[in-house]
Structure 1
């Protein structure tokens, strides 16, 4: 494998005898690790043809150096290329077929291979375009959605409970001192019941429920 262009971290799928395809760095946390998903098991991947800049087909000529983000390249043993683009708040995995995407510039021809279920691909395309513009992909604030907050609370509550923390200690971690002081002794026990549901939801996710998030 040739040396990657400046600004890339590269992972090669070409293995020497006795070697393994590398895994994510076990010392990195979930926000820092470079994790690549298989295209046949994960729907949230953009696909594209990479073409020579002089024969772009229907693609737009770009250079990955123009994307204001961290870039990690994985080249599999069959020559398929995956580029992981990450900012502080967004991640896009792009699967490329064709020319070497380390060449700068090249033509990128995005594929709508999920037609007619195109909504997810449109969101990823806006996110990718935002990385090349140097801003958010859709021009909107990207705070936590209600669903994402529930997943976050569930996993955090499960971890803290397994670590021996009381429900009140978990509430302090998730909601802060002011909210706990105000709502912990509420006669309706809303906060306590919410925490119990979060722990149960986390246990379901640990038991295999997380697979629903990959579809």
Structure 2
């Protein structure tokens, strides 16, 4: 309960200081609306899957590289890699996802080295009479994917309410016969605030009103969204002025682009540079917090 109260207090504080607003999502921009609830590690995937070097590595991916089956007692997908995931590990991943799938649908599991601020749960035995609040609240509302890595460590992806949460499990195996109880834990007290934020953000996965909500953006998520749009436009051979037209509309661009102060042109130059940096390795530091440079191995 103490952890829960801390999370709720942090939630109220965060909502009080973080300004949100709507954005124009007419036409082609609407296809990016799904991003507004994405966590930082899902934004990292969106940038990585646009990296041409990564796409080259991903071409080696085969559907049967990973075994998949359903759990016998719950609607949970069980994944386990059949092969070494050396190429995936180069990019901070535990296995190679399908780059055609977006941040919500792709089975993206980040390594702990690349993404140290994962939500953590400890699994311990429980009696027949005991309940597990995390399990009871998660299974009815979330799509759950379970991964066992080659060292036998277990991870979960929880999908719900427009959010995706990666969870690292310790203690008893989730695949055993014994009933378990899950508890949120914080193993690194030096990163207490970041871990607490990760736990708080993870609670969003339990909501049920995603389809009825209007996308709300912060300044940070707007820049991240616009950066992805810019990369996609560049891939289509569009100019920076064309990108500005997509983002701001033809009328505004015709009015502001010729301005001698060049504020719009400078803004597009910064946006493209920022997006390319995140795509080409910056996601490891700026979005995952892995403290790794773009040319360092995350595994």
How far off its partner does 1:167 sit? 1.9
Structure 2 residue aligned with 1:117: 191
Structure 2 residue aligned with 1:165: 238
Q: CA RMSD in A?
A: 3.4
Retained in 2: the 8 A contact 1:66–1:132?
Answer: no
Structure 2 residue aligned with 1:127: 201
Structure 1 residue aligned with 2:149: 76
Structure 2 distance, partners of 1:195, 1:159, is: 14
Q: Which blocks of at least 5 consecutive residues in structure 1 are unaligned?
A: none
Matches for 1:130-141 after TM superposition, within 5 Å: 130-132=204-206, 134=208
TM-score if structure 2 supplies the norm length? 0.57
Retained in 1: the 8 A contact 2:174–2:180?
Answer: yes
For 1:118, what is the secondary structure of its paired residue? helix
Structure 2 residue aligned with 1:11: 79
Structure 2 residue aligned with 1:198: 271
Structure 2 distance, partners of 1:142, 1:191, is: 25
Pick aligned residue for 1:148 from 208, 221, 227: 221
TM-score if structure 1 supplies the norm length? 0.76
Change (3 A) 1:109 1:38: same
Aligned positions, number:
207
Structure 2 residue aligned with 1:93: 166
Q: Which blocks of at least 5 consecutive residues in structure 2 are unaligned?
A: 1-66, 86-94, 290-299
Retained in 2: the 8 A contact 1:67–1:132?
Answer: no
* Off by >6 Å, runs of 4+ in structure 1: none
Structure 1 distance, partners of 2:137, 2:235, is: 43
